[in-house]
Chains A and B, each alone.
Chain A
Amino acid sequence: MNQDIHIPALARVEGEGALTIRLKDGAIDDILLNIYEPPRFFEGFLHGRHYQDVPDITARICGICPVAYQMSSVQALEAALQVTISPEVRSLRQLLYCAEYIESHALHIYLLQAPDLVGYESALSLAADDPQLVRQALQLKKIGNELLKIIGGRSIHPVNTCVGGFYRWPTIEAIHNLIPDLEWARQASIDTVKWAATLNFPDFEHDYEFVALNRIDDYAIYDGDILSSSGKRISPSDFEKHYLESHVERSNALHSHTADNGTYFVGPLARLNLNYKKLRPMARQAAREIGLKFPLRNPYKGLIARAIELVHVCDLAIELANAYQPVGSSFKEIRLLPGEGVGVSEAPRGLLYHRYVVDEQGFIRFAKITPPTAQNFAQMEADLWALAPSVVNQPQEQASLSFEHLLRSYDPCISCATHFLKLRIHRT
């Protein structure tokens, strides 16, 4: 006998999905994380576009992390066109990326995940009881958005990024004026770490394969080599040989796995575990003060990793803003030549890979994009399997909340459809 139970649930994520849990004789028979995000075919319609349209188009894949899409795509195209950007452009891109991290991490920590940990259905309800906490969160998020606006023109789908650099240098005055706010944000981030340490995270640890960018000299966000906790280090141009995508029937998103068919985990936990020593001293100190032990193997504690990264990016943003000194042209002139290039950066949710082929007139002949959430899907499913036995016998509402919280802790950026998870538990 089948008993279908539908619980409309997964709020506070970006995307549409359904979770089906089938039970047979009291045991878990199958778990299907079904993403029915309407496909939008970006790689298809990038074909034939001029290379300079690409950062504007790929930004539209995600309203929450458009800068990540712009940064991976311009790096890939600059590699294809053999353009070397100036150090000043690189610094400003790093600053732009810091801004997106502040906005995106503040959103996820406080508005998307924290309500699960403090027992509220949303930050809006939480605000009724703790207005100060929510106001601080919104202020932090706003400072990220303000910095995005100063550099990019607007916070969602900024317009200033181009292949070769920026269309225009922001004024020194505008950047400097934001420094006091960034200093406030840095302190608010340190407070966020302390607050995060007081939360009760579910007990759930696994031996994941973490994958993130890595650099010798700093905490890799804008670029780097690809490092795995298995010890494997590859150059970005070898990504597709080691990390494969496949299309599974239940999902409109592609799923990734390693070349030997294992699952892997990208995002803030992966970055922090692999690159902890490269964090800025202030962020390391924040981690030490709460007694954090590495490696962190609890996906729910991605929230703590985000909080520590907030300290890092605020501190870095202050340094970059103080040092901001536009010199020369804000972009390199492009000489057309056919070529192929790869670009990888760390979106707030994890590794974001782009590859393009450009023809002799500057038109795109091939595009491939691997977003972080596609890489995490297989790991998310594996975690649902691991969690299920301890959850399925709970009352429906509680079971649903437990599954939802696990999925939300991954900060899935499905970003293409309604936020709606149907939990169906089939009992036979």
Chain B
Amino acid sequence: MSKPTLAVYKFSSCDGCQLSLLNLEDELLDLAGAVEIAYFLEARRRTLPAPYDIALVEGSVSTPHEVERIKEIRSQAKNLVAIGACATSGGIQALRNFTNLDDLAMAVYEHPEYLHALPTSTPLSEHVRVDYELWGCPINKYQAVEVIQALLQKRRPNLPTHSICLDCKRQGVVCVMAAYGIPCLGPGTRTGCGVLCPSNGRGCYGCFGPAPSADMKSVVRSMNFVERYPAEVRGLLTHISNYAPAFHQIAETPEVTRNQARGGQK
């Protein structure tokens, strides 16, 4: 019996989520035994023809070519999994969605007319149907293993959606907001990183995107109390997962923008 096939693709991104798969040092060879790694150019030169059972896609859609390419990949994949902050929410490069692309391009390139870029960087789900989403910048590699296993076992993957804040309490990590007065997006952010920032004595900056059940208004209100410099709270919301609707909607409300006049953020 032939093995299920796995394909890994990269769109606009930093490579980090694909690298997370290669960082499965103890599991990589077993994974290559359990599935046929049919397309994964960062890892191998050989490619097998589509269709594929599972396609993992890293990166956001930010060029006209990528708009076409994601449709093609969707049509060739039984299961499409978006991996990482770029694929699930447009990534940090989605900051361009709130500004004029021409201004940004001029800041970096002498001849912006040579570039072939869309004015927006968007998640895969704005273009095609996505079966599962793994959030995170980068993803938690064990969540990737869980999704692959679940798909092979024909069950739903177990991907927790509660907030970081809950896990800090469970693990006995001191609350940086209550104890040190540091704004922390943990109450509004999806778990998955292992409460990294609070356990390093700093506030969460939302790499894993919004927790679906979070009350962002309350999250913002509690952070506003401890803001240390102008527009700090806005900076957290307009960071890695800036284009995730729950973050960018609250980021535009007066409660968040009122400090902006003094601050430097556009």
B162 within 8 A of A: no
**Are A11 and B45 CB-contacts (below 8 A) given A44-B104, A247-B111?**
yes
Cα A135 to Cα B193 in complex, Å, equals 27
In residues 164-178 of chain A, which contact B (Cβ within 8 Å)?
167-168
- Given contacts A41-B108, A167-B202, A135 and B197 within 8 Å (CB-CB): no
Q: Is B89 an interface residue (CB 8 A)?
A: no
The answer to whether B99 touches A49, judged by C-beta atoms less than 8 angstroms apart, is no
A333 at the binding interface (Cβ < 8 Å):
no
Q: Find out whether the CB atom of B235 lies under 8 angstroms from the CB atom of A49.
A: yes
Looking at A155-163, A179-187, A273-281, A377-385, the stretch in contact with chain B turns out to be A155-163
Identify which of A52-60, A83-91, A233-241, A311-319 touches chain B: A52-60
Alpha-carbon distance between A241 and B109 when the two chains are bound, in angstroms: 18
Would A53 and B25 count as touching, CB distance under 8 A?
Answer: no
- Are B264 and A12 in contact, with the CB atoms below 8 A? no
Distance between A103 CB and nearest chain B CB, rounded to angstroms: 8
* B15 and A63 contact, CB distance less than 8 A: yes
Bound CA span A248–B110, Å: 9
Chain A residues positioned under 8 Å from B197 (CB to CB): 153, 159
Interface residues of B: mostly helix, strand, loop or mixed?
Answer: loop
Q: Which residue of B lies closest to A416 (CB)?
A: B12
A124-141: contact bitstring with B at CB < 8 Å (1 yes, 0 no)? 110100010011001101
Interface residue B93 (Cβ < 8 Å from any Cβ of A) = yes
- Contact (Cβ within 8 A) B200 A361: no
Q: Choose, from B36-44, B149-157, B215-223, B250-258, the stretch at the interface.
A: B36-44
Tell me the count of chain B residues lying within 8 A, CB to CB, of chain A: 77
* Given A41-B107, A56-B205: A417 in contact with B264 (beta carbons within 8 A): no
B42-71 near A? 1/0 per residue, CB < 8 Å: 111111000000000001001101100000
- Annotate A23-46 by CB proximity to B: 1 below 8 A, 0 otherwise: 000000000000010111111110
Most buried by B among A41, A124, A134, A154: A41
Per DSSP, chain A at the interface is loop
- Size class of the contact patch on chain A: 35 or more
Beta-carbon contact of A420 and B41 below 8 Å: yes
Contact of A159 with B105 in the complex, beta carbons under 8 Å: no
Chain B hits for A123, CB < 8 A: 43
Inside 8 A of A9's CB, which chain B residues have their CB?
45
A56 touches B239 (CB 8 A): yes
CB distance from B95 to the nearest CB of A (A): 4
A404–B264 CA distance with the chains assembled, in angstroms: 45
Judge whether B108 and A39 touch: CB under 8 Å: yes
Given contacts A66-B16, A156-B20, A404-B45, 15 further A-B contacts (CB under 8 A): A11-B42, A11-B43, A11-B45, A39-B115, A40-B91, A44-B96, A45-B93, A45-B95, A60-B14, A63-B16, A121-B44, A122-B46, A125-B44, A138-B26, A154-B196
Interface of A with B (CB < 8 Å)? Answer: 8-14, 16, 36, 38-45, 47-50, 53, 56-57, 60-64, 66, 107, 111, 115, 121-125, 127, 131, 134-135, 138-139, 141-142, 145, 153-157, 159-160, 162, 167-168, 246-249, 251-252, 254, 359, 361-365, 404, 415-420
Closest 7 A/B residue pairs (Cβ): A63-B16, A363-B264, A44-B104, A122-B44, A419-B41, A142-B25, A44-B107
